[in-house]
Structures are given as C-alpha cells and as structure tokens.
C-alpha cells in the first residue's frame, strides 16, 4: 500500500490496485474563515496550498468520506469531483447530503462493504470529549465521524481512525483488528471550552501500546486554524518516547509505502 499525504486529512491511498481519495478539502489557501469558537479562529483555512494540481487528485477509483465538516469536504470538492464518482460515506445523513449535491454513486459503509476485492469496514469514533457531546449545541456541531478499516488478501490491514479522540472504542478496535498500518489524525485540534477534538502527540504512544507491531502515519496537521500540534513537535515527542521507528510524519505531497 502507498499512502500519500496531500493536505490536512486529505490523502491518496493506493491499496490493492485501487486508488482512494480520502476526505478531500481542495480549496486554495485562505479561502475560508477559521472555525468559530476554536483555537486561533482569526486564521483563514486552509493555511497552506495543495502540493499538487487538483486534476492529479481526481485520477482515482473512489472517494472515502469520513464526515462532512468543511475541512474534510468543501465546496471545491463538491464542484470538481465527478458526480458519478463512487463515494463511500458513514451514514444515511451524509448520503442524503451528497445526493442533494448531485452525486449518484453513494454507498453507506457497513461491517463488510465490498469495492472490487477490497473490503471496507466502518468504525466508530468520537469527535470530541464526553463533555463536548453532553452540550447539545456542541454535539450537533461535531456530529458523527467514522473511521475505516481496509482489508485485502494480498495487503496488510489498514485502519484509518478518522477524526476521533482516544476512546475505549478506538482502543478496542485496535486490539481486536490488529492492523498493520494505522492512519491517525494527530493535529490536536481544539474547540472552546472543551479542548481537543482529535488526537495529539500522546496518542502515538497509546496506539503503539495497543498494536506494538503497527506502523503509524500521522495526518491532519498544520493546515487548519485549530490544529495546534506541529510536525516538528510530534517528531520530537516520538523520539523522546522511543516510538520514532513506528511513526511516520509525512510532509504534504510525500508518500509512505508499506
């Protein structure tokens, strides 16, 4: 498998001869205001340009959409992705939304959703703390966000955690599935007053202890206003904690191969 970091949570995953585009945010640098009620909301998003032309990102077989927050699915993606592109979504709500946007080949992922010879399994995440979800307005704002497990007879198992903090459900999934590769959204994004809504540096150690043999790919960093963890800080952290050989922190446009 080959995982190419594009920008933020957008990645190209080449898996078992299929090309998946994950969570496409395709706008130019500075197109959107920062998320209100979040850290550094005065900054505009995305904070960096794409590392390649959009056309290169559209040479794919399917899109994987973990949820529809603007930093994962934006107006440019809606406009540029062909309306007959196969798109895999987390639930009926997102399928209805994309249907209203004109997309026609929509599949809600389940326990064993097939795409050719690849099996996709939707997993559960939690896009914020228990306190955040106890607040009705914040719970509605954060909504659901899924992860995805990729399986194929000739490939290692890949677990894309998606936008989630560390939870017992994520830990259980890691221990039961024992993936060979884990993609973790590590930007440590914060909303006020509830704190982190995705993983941060310490979660690399938690993932490693749950699946000691897995390789970890860190993404969702340095492109959105409320993502506070930098690549440099994460590199220092994994070195200091003895897990650097297991953690990959690709730059935008960089690929890792397993």
Looking at the DSSP assignment, which residues form a beta bridge with residue 255? 4
Q: Which sequence spans correspond to the domains of the chain?
A: 2-257
Q: Please tell us whether the domain made up of 2-257 is placed in CATH 3.40.50.300.
A: no
Handedness of CA 39, 44, 50, 53 (dihedral sign): positive
**Residue 177 — very low, low, confident or very high, per pLDDT cuts 50/70/90?**
very high
**What is the pLDDT at residue 44?**
99
Do 65 and 21 touch, CB atoms closer than 8 A?
Answer: no
Per the prediction, the chain carries an average pLDDT of 99
b or e along 63-79 (b: 16 or more beta carbons within 10 Å of the residue's beta carbon)? bbbbbbbbbbbbebbbe
Do 185 and 160 touch, CB atoms closer than 8 A?
Answer: no
Per-residue pLDDT, averaged over 192-221, amounts to 98
Angstrom CA distances, 217 to 142, 180, 223, 250, stand at: 24, 11, 16, 8
Read off the pLDDT of residues 76-132 as tens digits, 9 standing for 90 and up: 999 999 999 999 999 999 999 999 999 999 999 999 999 999 999 999 999 999 999
Handedness of CA 153, 211, 243, 13 (dihedral sign): positive
Looking at the DSSP assignment, which residues form a beta bridge with residue 118? 115
């Amino acid at each position: 498998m080959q995982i190419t970091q594009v920008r933020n949570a957008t990645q190209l995953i080449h898996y078992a001869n299929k090309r998946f585009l994950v969570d496409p945010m395709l706008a130019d640098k500075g197109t959107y205001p920062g998320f209100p009620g979040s850290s550094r909301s005065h900054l505009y998003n995305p904070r960096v340009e794409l590392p390649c032309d959009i056309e290169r990102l559209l040479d794919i077989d399917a899109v994987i959409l973990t949820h529809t927050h603007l930093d994962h699915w934006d107006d440019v993606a809606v406009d540029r992705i062909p309306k007959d592109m196969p798109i895999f979504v987390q639930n009926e709500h997102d399928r209805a939304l994309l249907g209203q946007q004109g997309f026609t080949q929509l599949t809600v992922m389940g326990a064993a959703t097939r795409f050719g010879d690849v099996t996709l399994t939707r997993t559960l995440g939690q896009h914020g703390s228990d306190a955040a979800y106890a607040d009705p307005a914040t719970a509605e704002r954060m909504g659901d966000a899924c992860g995805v497990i990729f399986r194929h007879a000739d490939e290692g198992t890949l677990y894309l955690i998606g936008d989630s903090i560390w939870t017992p459900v994520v830990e259980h999934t890691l221990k039961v599935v024992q993936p060979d590769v884990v993609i973790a959204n590590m930007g440590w994004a914060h909303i006020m007053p509830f704190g982190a809504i995705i993983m941060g540096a310490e979660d690399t150690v938690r993932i490693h202890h749950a699946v000691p043999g897995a390789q970890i790919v860190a993404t969702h960093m340095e492109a959105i206003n409320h993502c506070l963890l930098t690549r440099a800080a994460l590199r220092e952290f994994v070195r200091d904690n003895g897990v650097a050989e297991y953690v990959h922190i690709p730059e935008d446009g960089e690929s890792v191969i397993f």
